[in-house]
Amino acid sequence: MAELLRKVWDFEFVRTANEVEALVLENDFIKHYKPRFNIRLKDDKNYLYLKLPVTEEFPRVHYTRRIAKDGALYFGPYTSAQSLRTTVKSLRQLLPFRTCSDDIFRQGKVCLDFHIRRCPGPCEGRVSRDDYHATLRQVAMFMEGRSDVLTRDLRDRMAAAASVLDFENAARYRDKLMAIEKIADRQKVLTHSRDDQDLVAYARDGKDVYVEIAYIRQGKMIGHDGHALEGAGEATEGELLRGFVLQYYASATHVPRTILLPGTLEEPQLVQDWLGSKRGGPVALEVPRRGRKRGLIDQLTDTATENLKQQRIEADYDRSRTEPMLTALAEALELNEPPHRIECYDISNIQGDSAVGSMVVFEEGRPKNEHYRHFRIKFTPGPNDFAMLQEVLRRRFDRLETALRREDAADVGDRSFSSRPDLVLIDGGRGQLSAGLEVLEDQGFADIPTFGLAKQREEVFAPDRADPIILEHNAPAMFLLQRVRDEAHRFAITHHRKVRSRKALTSPLDSVEGIGPARKKALLRTFGSLQGIRDASVEDLQAAGVPERVALRLKELIV
């Protein structure tokens, strides 16, 4: 608290209607501003969910990183994308469903997934809406951990099929039943209670804190996840648990009836009220002192301790590799000290078309993916790489200048743009470097070390040297520079391809007011192609069902 008071120079108060509303607002502020003195989940925005848009006719089951209030079912968050993808892959073998994009689905032709029995083929009408949604309900049961309900449902369907001598379907349900039961057998029975429960435990080593959460559904453990915490080094147990529960359940898709904790969190009644409002029913926060429940907490604590040790080993290993590289880089480029934050910029375009810029960030020699940024080139016409680079740098350092000027130091907006780099790298030679230096000088950041990286040879261009710096191909400094540059190039190219793909999928018809998807499809079916529509007269268009006003506008815009 003493350190906090020394660094705080202003206060702002927000009045709320009640304590629960204050709790929600506090959590929103922590996620938005990421203040250094508050407990927060590390990189929580990257967690994955499985989405079942059950309000659609033939929903596409897919992964997402955002939750919307759209009537869909969401399962997660999952810290391990690989674990979720493996689960879904196994599930599709038992309960086939579509995962293709809507564009592919609308083509109306079955794909390979149908032939290998991973999809029932709704695009060709191979399955009814009711049967497809029945399958999705079974998928939801499985993801919720209600395997008992799912097996009972399959057993009933098998018996019903056998009773009408439909032995083929009965055998199919039998095979699914056996596969589901085999998976369910792997889930450890932990409690005789049928209530849903979550278990929370943590391990601490200095300022590093790691939290494990396990999920018990219908008395069985169906999985667990680990979460590193930031800003929790000096927190008490009560503060730590309160911070985790608020951060985690703010984005969780399911709040269980009971949450078992290793200790009492701060403001337990207030947190219980908030959880109850999310669940739509009472939530109990229990701190078991002895017995089977305490044993489960202790086991989970051991898991958290082992994972924290592994995390520390991996961090030490990374540091042992990157620190010598950063030191060598500082010596090679004659920097005052090894750079903590490196930013690298690249431009990707084809003759000025769909041009994009990329900014990748490395901190302590490692990629900081959440600080990567894309730039759509907005103000530079034609193929002019130098001007495009200057536009990107100007927009980026405008944001930094704004953040540094802002009166409220806490409200810095985008955390990436508000962070000052220790080293700027530009993918390109002497010309690109000169263009970049001009912008940094205009913006008042000429003191930031800036270098250009040649695309082919091991040459580094410095602003105050006529000849490039030549580094050995296998030198540690060169290895790091190449890694940063290649990552910037990959990031720019990948986004450029996405932009071009989206552009290729659009049509001049999309910009014509009065031409929607159905009318566009009808026009293409009638006239065969966009050129056929261009060649058609206004009368021809009217005969195809286009109002005269829209037909005139169409001819004007696509000639």
pLDDT of residue 410: 46
First to last CA, the chain: 69
Task: Tell which of 164, 188, 212 closes a domain.
Answer: 188
Q: How confident is the model at residue 14 (pLDDT cuts 50, 70, 90)?
A: low
Dihedral sign, Cα of residue 493, residue 498, residue 504, residue 507: negative
Range among 116-120, 219-223, 337-341 with highest mean pLDDT value: 337-341
Position with higher pLDDT, 436 vs 23: 436
Q: How confident is the model at residue 487 (pLDDT cuts 50, 70, 90)?
A: very high
Paired strand residues for 202: 211
Same domain, 171 and 201: no
Structural domain contains residue 143: yes
Same domain, 63 and 209: no
CA 45 to each of CA 33, 275, 363, 369, 485: distance values in angstroms, whole numbers, following the listed order: 13, 21, 19, 12, 26
Same domain, 474 and 341: yes
Chain-centre distance of CA 385, in angstroms? Answer: 30
CATH code of residue 271: 3.30.420
The answer on pLDDT for 194 being more than 70 is no
- Name the residue range of residue 517's domain: 508-558
- Identify the three-state secondary structure at position 68: coil
Structural domain contains residue 1: yes
Task: Tell which of 143, 164, 188 closes a domain.
Answer: 188
Listed range (151-155, 213-217, 485-489) with the worst mean pLDDT: 151-155
Q: How confident is the model at residue 393 (pLDDT cuts 50, 70, 90)?
A: very high
Structural domain contains residue 326: no
Task: Tell which of 270, 299, 320 closes a domain.
Answer: 320
pLDDT of residue 17: 62
Same domain, 227 and 310: yes
Structural domain contains residue 84: yes
pLDDT of residue 473: 80
Same domain, 51 and 175: yes
pLDDT of residue 408: 47
Same domain, 466 and 496: yes
Q: Tell me the average pLDDT across 433-437.
A: 95
CB contact set of 311 (below 8 Å; sequence gap of 6+): 208, 210, 228
pLDDT of residue 416: 85
pLDDT of residue 456: 65
CATH code of residue 452: 3.30.420.340
Same domain, 441 and 389: yes
Sheet holding 48-52, edge to edge: 62-64, 48-52, 73-78
Position with higher pLDDT, 298 vs 150: 298
Position with higher pLDDT, 521 vs 353: 521
CB contact set of 431 (below 8 Å; sequence gap of 6+): 386
CA count, 13 A, side-chain hemisphere, 188: 7
* Cα angle 385-386-390, degrees, rounded to a multiple of 5: 115
pLDDT of residue 152: 78
Position with higher pLDDT, 285 vs 49: 285
The answer on pLDDT for 214 being more than 70 is yes
Listed range (2-11, 214-223, 231-240, 535-544) with the worst mean pLDDT: 2-11
Structural domain contains residue 88: yes
pTM, rounded to two decimals: 0.57
Structural domain contains residue 76: yes
- C-alpha 171/C-alpha 61 separation (Å) is 26
Same domain, 219 and 315: yes
The answer on pLDDT for 504 being more than 80 is no
Same domain, 409 and 301: no
pLDDT tens profile 169-192: 788 778 777 766 665 544 444 444
Structural domain contains residue 349: yes
- C-alpha 346/C-alpha 436 separation (Å) is 11
pLDDT of residue 231: 75
Same domain, 238 and 268: yes
Structural domain contains residue 325: no
CB contact set of 383 (below 8 Å; sequence gap of 6+): 349, 351, 352
pLDDT of residue 187: 42
Position with higher pLDDT, 221 vs 174: 174
pLDDT of residue 373: 93
DSSP 426-453: EES-HHHHHHHHHHHHHTT-TTS-EEEE
- C-alpha 314/C-alpha 110 separation (Å) is 45
What amino acid is encoded at 453 in this protein?
A: L
Same domain, 58 and 8: no
pLDDT of residue 245: 93
CA count, 13 A, side-chain hemisphere, 155: 9
Number of domains in the chain: 4
pLDDT of residue 163: 83
Same domain, 340 and 387: yes
Range among 138-152, 431-445, 449-463 with highest mean pLDDT value: 431-445
